[in-house]
Amino acid sequence: MANYKRVLVAVDLTDDSDQVLQRAVDIAERNGAALHIIHVIEIISFAYGGDVPMDLTSLQEQIDKHANERMKAKAEALNYPVEETLVATGNTEEEIHQHADKIGADLIVIGSHGRHGLALVLGSTSNGVLHGAKCDILAVHLKEQG
């Protein structure tokens, strides 16, 4: 069984994130690993092809502020010390890969809805992260919240 030392958990900051975070905490706890949490904000103008005829700065700032607040609340609710929280901006898969490389993560934990994307097995983000990752990936099957 692998002995993980640095676990990077990727969260979309929805309620589903709690299932992903809990699994990451369980693994970090068992391994005595450092726990890093990342959330990525996609840049709005990029999402629309970089050609939006209006200033989106203040909207982007509000999104950043909201994400940072949610991230802080989620990290504080964990019963495990968090080494780092990061709210990054850019392409989700790329940012997760880059940060995993930067911190030398040996495990990335990510949620998987399994209801869209590749063959009902992995969600789109988890599929993208799996491809090109240089370390182990754990895709946590997300149960529908009632």
What are the residues binding ligand AMP (CB under 6 A)?
10-12, 16, 20, 38-40, 92, 110-113, 123-126
Closest separation between CB of residue 143 and ligand AMP, Å? Answer: 12
Closest separation between CB of residue 138 and ligand AMP, Å? Answer: 10
Using the minimum distance from each CB to ligand AMP, give the nearer residue, 31 or 89. Answer: 89
Residue 49 contacts by C-beta under 8 Å, 6 or more apart in sequence? Answer: none
Closest separation between CB of residue 53 and ligand AMP, Å? Answer: 25
Closest separation between CB of residue 126 and ligand AMP, Å? Answer: 5
3-state DSSP call for residue 13? coil
Residue type, 43: I
Using the minimum distance from each CB to ligand AMP, give the nearer residue, 55 or 100. Answer: 100
Q: Could you give the residue ranges of the DSSP H alpha helices within the chain?
A: 17-31, 44-47, 57-76, 92-103, 124-130
Strands 84-89 and 107-112: unpaired
Using the minimum distance from each CB to ligand AMP, give the nearer residue, 25 or 38. Answer: 38
How far is the first Cα of the chain from the last one, in angstroms, to the nearest whole number? 34
